């Protein structure tokens, strides 16, 4: 469930990024902004009922090269088994900051900051130094069955509407303003409630709390990109020759949560993966 959601978000994030001749990170066609969101989660999975809500605030400047998103979320899970029930509520407070490819993740529960490189941005710039990452992202979305269904107004802004894998997003100049996604019976909705674009965003909004900083190991530095790209190509070539049953077994062994996915969802994911691999190989 998490894998599909992350994949959808990553692909749409790629479709909102643009490379440049100066190899300068530009993620939105907007210079700066402050956006406030509300998020709700609801649904049933494996006999459990899940409900959640929360708020998010996004600050960005320099066309998205510098960005900070702060999220405060609460999720309640009611589990029933053999006539017994239990209720568990999880409160999370996080900050994710992107500073020209450096990614900072703040965990307020652990009072810890984790730092790494944003690998997706590094890979795009390493493999498409003079290209348009937006075109790459849109090509991948289309190859995986995604469809830009048209344009709609949301909060007065004209948005491209994308649909893929049970999800739908409203994108204004690369910036997500609304999202709806249903994965394995759980529906998540995120909507902007306040949007201020091309405004002055004080540097204070990008400051992090005074927590210890831990560098995440095994992330890719610039010197590793060429090697890892070659390794990834070899892995993709191998996956291209896997049958559906071989792929399904590997996925379930790697992520036990995928056992809950239906045969239809797994088949759809496999078909989309094969389309992406064929697009990359040019076949």
Is there a contact between 33 and 177 (Cβ–Cβ < 8 Å)? no
DSSP 8-state symbol, 220: P
> Could you tell me the pTM of the whole model?
0.68
pLDDT at residue 179 greater than cutoff 90: yes
pLDDT at residue 253 greater than cutoff 60: yes
DSSP 8-state symbol, 210: S
Per-residue model confidence (pLDDT) at position 36: 97
DSSP 8-state symbol, 145: T
β-pairing verdict for 213-215 and 112-117: parallel
Question: Angle CA(71)–CA(63)–CA(172) in degrees, nearest 5?
Answer: 70
Per-residue model confidence (pLDDT) at position 235: 60
Q: How far apart are CA 19 and CA 124, in angstroms?
A: 8
**H helix runs in 128-203, sequence order:** 133-143
Domain 2-219 classified CATH 1.10.3470? no
Residues 6+ apart with CB under 8 A from 238: none
Lowest-confidence range among 85-89, 157-161, 174-178, 243-247?
A: 243-247
pLDDT at residue 222 greater than cutoff 50: no
If one counts every other C-beta atom within 10 angstroms of the C-beta of residue 218, the result is 6
- Write down the residue that tokens 């070539």 correspond to: 237
Q: How far apart are CA 16 and CA 58, in angstroms?
A: 16
Tell me the two tokens of residue 57: 């605030």
Q: How far is CA 272 from the centre of its chain?
A: 17
Tell me the two tokens of residue 98: 């992107």
If one counts every other C-beta atom within 10 angstroms of the C-beta of residue 52, the result is 19
Per-residue model confidence (pLDDT) at position 258: 60
Q: How far apart are CA 187 and CA 264, in angstroms?
A: 18
Q: Mind listing the pLDDT tens digit for each residue in 29-69?
A: 889 999 999 999 988 876 788 899 999 999 999 888 899 99
Per-residue model confidence (pLDDT) at position 14: 46
Look at residues 133, 122, 128, 124 and name the one whose alpha carbon lies nearest to residue 221: 122
H/E stretch holding 119 reads helix 119-127
Of residues 245 and 235, which shows the higher confidence score? 245
Is there a contact between 8 and 181 (Cβ–Cβ < 8 Å)? yes
Domain boundaries, the chain: 2-219, 220-283
pLDDT at residue 15 greater than cutoff 80: no
Using CB atoms within 10 Å of the CB of residue 239, give its burial: 0 to 12 exposed, 13 to 18 middle, 19+ buried.
middle
Look at residues 23, 223, 205 and name the one whose alpha carbon lies nearest to residue 125: 23
Q: Mind listing the pLDDT tens digit for each residue in 68-126?
A: 999 999 988 888 776 677 888 888 899 999 988 788 999 898 899 999 876 666 655 55
Q: How far apart are CA 72 and CA 15, in angstroms?
A: 26
Mean pLDDT confidence for 249-270: 67
Q: Mind listing the pLDDT tens digit for each residue in 148-168?
A: 899 999 999 999 999 887 789
């Amino acid at each position: 469930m998490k894998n599909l959601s992350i994949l959808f978000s990553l692909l749409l994030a790629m479709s909102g990024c643009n490379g440049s001749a100066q190899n300068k990170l530009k993620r939105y066609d907007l210079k700066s902004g402050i956006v406030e969101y509300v998020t709700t989660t609801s649904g049933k999975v494996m006999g459990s009922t899940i409900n959640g809500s929360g708020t998010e605030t996004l600050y960005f400047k320099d066309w998205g090269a510098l960005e900070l998103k702060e999220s405060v979320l609460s999720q309640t899970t009611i589990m029933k088994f053999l006539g017994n029930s239990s209720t568990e509520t999880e409160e999370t407070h996080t900050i994710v900051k992107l500073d020209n490819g450096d990614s900072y993740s703040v965990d307020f529960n652990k009072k810890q900051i984790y730092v790494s490189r944003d690998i997706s941005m590094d890979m795009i710039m390493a493999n498409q130094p003079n290209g348009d990452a937006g075109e790459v992202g849109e090509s991948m979305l289309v190859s995986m069955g995604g469809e830009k269904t048209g344009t709609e107004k949301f909060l007065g802004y004209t948005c491209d509407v994308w649909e893929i894998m049970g999800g739908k997003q409203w994108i204004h100049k690369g910036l997500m303003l609304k999202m709806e996604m249903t994965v394995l019976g759980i529906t998540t909705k995120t909507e902007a409630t306040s949007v201020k674009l091309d405004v002055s965003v004080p540097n204070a909004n990008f400051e992090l709390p005074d927590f210890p900083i831990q560098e995440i190991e095994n992330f890719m530095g610039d010197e590793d990109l060429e090697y890892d790209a070659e390794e990834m190509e070899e892995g993709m070539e191998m996956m291209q020759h896997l049958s559906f049953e071989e792929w399904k077994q590997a996925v379930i062994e790697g992520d036990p949560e995928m056992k809950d996915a239906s045969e239809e969802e797994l088949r759809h994911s496999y078909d989309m993966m094969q389309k992406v691999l064929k697009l990359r190989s040019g076949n």
